[in-house]
Amino acid sequence: MHFCVVMDQFAAQAFAAYNPRFLNTPFVVVKQNPESHKTSVSACSFVAVDMGVKPDTPVRVIRRDFPEVKMVQYDNRWEATAREDLTHIMEEYTPEFYVQDSGVCLMDFSGTWASKNPKCIVEELGDEIRYKIRITDVAFGISLNKLLAKLLATLACPSGVEICNPGEEEDTLEALDVEVLPGISDGVRERIKKYGIQTVKQVRNLGRQSLACRLGKEGEVLYSLSRGVDLVPQVEGKRREVRVESVLNRDINDFSRLKQYAKLISDKLSHQLKSRGMKTKRVTVVLKYSDDRTTRKTVKLGSPTNEFPVLMPVVVETFEQLYQRRIAIKSIRAVVRSPLVDDGQLNLFESNTASKFRQRTYAISHIREKMGFDSVLNASYLNILSDAKTDEDMEAHHTTT
């Protein structure tokens, strides 16, 4: 079961969410110089939309016809913050999700409890987005077919819900207007109109060869879309995400032992980054308590790194700041959502000692790649590894008994 979440006019909604004084205010977001006569509107608040303002409207027209509408300069910070907050919400529902730059959220609920009760999850997820991020207009599309879920979410904008029941995917897709299919150029859309093609079913009936002869490569793309094939590659950013987690064999409320687990995941995170040829400027630490509540914090580093001596104190300090409830912990997780490529750039002021240490850590990483992570361990967390081994032995003993 695929969920697609669309926040129409995402740039404007994100701006208003973190600038409350613009809530319920007519304004537009512009990316270029607002003083230029060539500049057009990038996104509109829904108050402005209700007044008749539309995206791509020239700024000069806004000044002439809607003088009461305010103009704000586009700033990616608000959208980036909204995407990060959306990510925190999504990961509580399913591990398979992706938040696109445009604010479109794709979620795969296959095999989870949510696939059995989509209406319930829509209500809960919509409330979380509205109350935690203050993005008010959220549309949902739900289907077993990912492309159809995207199309239904678009049709449900600005704040509706469209659900395709299992077994009805073919009929629902065939009945859609061909205009809703993405990735088709304006020229091909005009030619489609001339041919009198209006529905996806008509595209299917023409067949791949006929469309390719008339429309070239885009004809093949059009036919694939009509068959429900999602041609947008799955999110590279999600694939590149680095995630390390220590799931404890039993819930622990021992602060000193938990700090050692924080050091362990720091070491694992460093190894994962090095083995993938990546660095990071941000690390997110997530704690899950025995009552299934979670808390998290993202920390920005001084410069991109993948070194354990740099990551470890940051992760441990963040853990200490988060662990305030003093309730037993189920798991500790460290996540790097947008790792950077390790280009080999070194610190200009690196000392000889630091250089030798860096070379030693890379040598350790190479050994681990060949013989496994446990082949070389840091003494700072050996106690918890022995405890974990004892827990496994005890569990095996009880099972045997």
The edge-to-edge listing of strands for the beta sheet with 97-99 is: 97-99, 105-108, 2-6, 139-143, 161-163
Residue 329's closest CA among 224, 254, 263? 254
Three-class secondary structure of residue 137 per DSSP: coil
Mean pLDDT of the chain: 80
Residue 323's closest CA among 252, 221, 244, 383? 252
**Whole-number pLDDT of residue 350:** 62
Would you tell me the crossing angle of helices 217-226 and 186-194 to the nearest 10 degrees? Answer: 80
CB proximity list for 24: less than 8 A, separation 6 or greater: 47
CA distance 95 to 341: 24
pLDDT, one tens digit per residue, over 225-248 is: 888 887 765 544 344 678 888 777
The CATH class, in words, for 1-165 is alpha beta
Share of the chain above pLDDT 70, in %: 86
* Sequence ranges of the domains in the chain: 1-165, 176-226, 241-394
**Whole-number pLDDT of residue 139:** 92
pLDDT-derived band at 274 (thresholds 50, 70, 90) equals confident
pLDDT, one tens digit per residue, over 340-399 is: 877 666 665 666 776 676 677 777 777 877 777 777 777 777 777 655 444 444 333 333
pLDDT, one tens digit per residue, over 137-147 is: 899 999 988 88
Query: The domain at 176-226 falls in which architecture?
Result: Orthogonal Bundle (1.10)
Query: The domain at 241-394 falls in which architecture?
Result: 2-Layer Sandwich (3.30)
CA distance 140 to 159: 8
The edge-to-edge listing of strands for the beta sheet with 41-44 is: 41-44, 27-30, 70-73
Burial of 332 (0-12, 13-18, 19+ CB in 10 A): buried
